[in-house]
């Protein structure tokens, strides 16, 4: 501590009349099929790997797991895939990994509607 710090008292002031607010960018989550600068793979019949696996994982765990846990499972499923068949021979064996950026301030669950 220097002379200035030793003269200051650390004090927390609480205004009970104020509302709790969040920053404007809070409670957003951005999901990407792949990181910027990389290729996202799409099958001509079944569509993109990311959407295929996102739909499958949401269908299986959408009402039980927290959303970022779901996205982590999707990342894993997509990351284990590789291009097996392509007209572009240099694409064979290529892989992909999705990513997400979360500014969520609470756990996010999708609960089924009552009676369903």
Q: Considering the chain, what is the average pLDDT of its residues?
A: 90
The β-bridge relationship of strands 29-32 and 99-102 is antiparallel
pLDDT, position 115:
78
Residue 106 is encoded by which pair of tokens? 């609470």
Residue 47: C-alpha distances to residues 6, 9, 22, 26, 90 (Å):
64, 61, 38, 32, 20
pLDDT above 90 covers a percentage of the chain that reads 73
Which residues, 6+ apart, have CB-to-CB distance to 27 below 8 Å?
Answer: 103, 104, 105, 106
Neighbours of 68 (CB within 10 A): 14
User: Helix H segments across the chain?
Assistant: 3-6, 49-61, 67-79
Both tokens of 9, joined, read: 């008292």
Mean pLDDT, range 36-45, rounded to an integer:
94
Q: What is the pLDDT of residues 68-90, one digit of tens each?
A: 999 999 999 999 999 999 999 99
Query: What pLDDT score does 112 carry?
Result: 86
The whole-angstrom separation of Cα 72 and Cα 48 is 17
Instruction: Taking residues 20-48, report their average pLDDT.
Output: 93
């Amino acid at each position: 501590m220097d002379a200035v710090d030793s003269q200051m008292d650390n004090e927390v002031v609480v205004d009970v009349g104020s509302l709790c607010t969040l920053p404007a960018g809070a409670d957003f989550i951005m999901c990407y099929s792949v990181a910027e600068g990389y290729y996202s793979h799409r099958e001509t019949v079944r569509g993109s790997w990311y959407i295929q696996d996102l739909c499958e994982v949401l269908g299986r765990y959408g009402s039980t797991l927290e959303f970022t846990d779901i996205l982590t499972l999707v990342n894993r499923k997509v990351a284990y895939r590789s291009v097996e068949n392509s007209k572009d021979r240099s694409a064979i064996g290529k892989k992909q990994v999705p990513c997400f950026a979360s500014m969520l301030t609470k756990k996010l669950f999708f609960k089924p509607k009552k009676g369903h």
